[in-house]
Amino acid sequence: MKIKVNDKVKIAVGKDKGKSGKVVQILPTSNQLVVEGINIMYKHIRPRKSGEKGQRVQFNGPISASNVLLLCPKCSQPVKIGIKAKAGIEGKKTAKSRICKKCKEAID
């Protein structure tokens, strides 16, 4: 997945379309992520004992990673991410860095 924790993303699809937020969790196995303030869901907790009140807990539900665009920290636009191999020193593995497809700046 090209998106990482603490990235700012813009939601491109769904009920939160147009909103943006910070990525707080990545779920690579399901290709989903959790974004602060996006896809707010409620969990109802039933009272365990009589006399106790049930609770409603708010949390951010996961959304599909394909429904978000990265907000580029350099040009502040929702962009697609490109991958560019960094020029590696001979004999060493080349690291990959993410680049903004719009302004061509490295994101990492």
Q: Which residues bind Zn ion (CB under 5 A)?
A: 72, 74-75, 100, 102-103
Adjacent-strand bridge partners of 10 = 20, 69
Tokens of 94: 């080349």
Specify the residue, 40 or 75, whose C-beta has the smaller distance to Zn ion: 75
Specify the residue, 34 or 99, whose C-beta has the smaller distance to Zn ion: 99
DSSP per residue, 36-69: TTSSEEEEEE--SSTTPPPEEEEEEPPEEGGGEE
Q: Cβ-count burial of 35 within 10 angstroms (0-12 exposed, 13-18 middle, 19+ buried)? A: buried
CA 11 to chain centre: 9
Q: How far is the CB of 52 from Zn ion (least distance, A)?
A: 51
Q: How far is the CB of 96 from Zn ion (least distance, A)?
A: 17
Specify the residue, 17 or 104, whose C-beta has the smaller distance to Zn ion: 104
Q: How far is the CB of 71 from Zn ion (least distance, A)?
A: 9
Specify the residue, 5 or 103, whose C-beta has the smaller distance to Zn ion: 103
Q: How far is the CB of 75 from Zn ion (least distance, A)?
A: 3
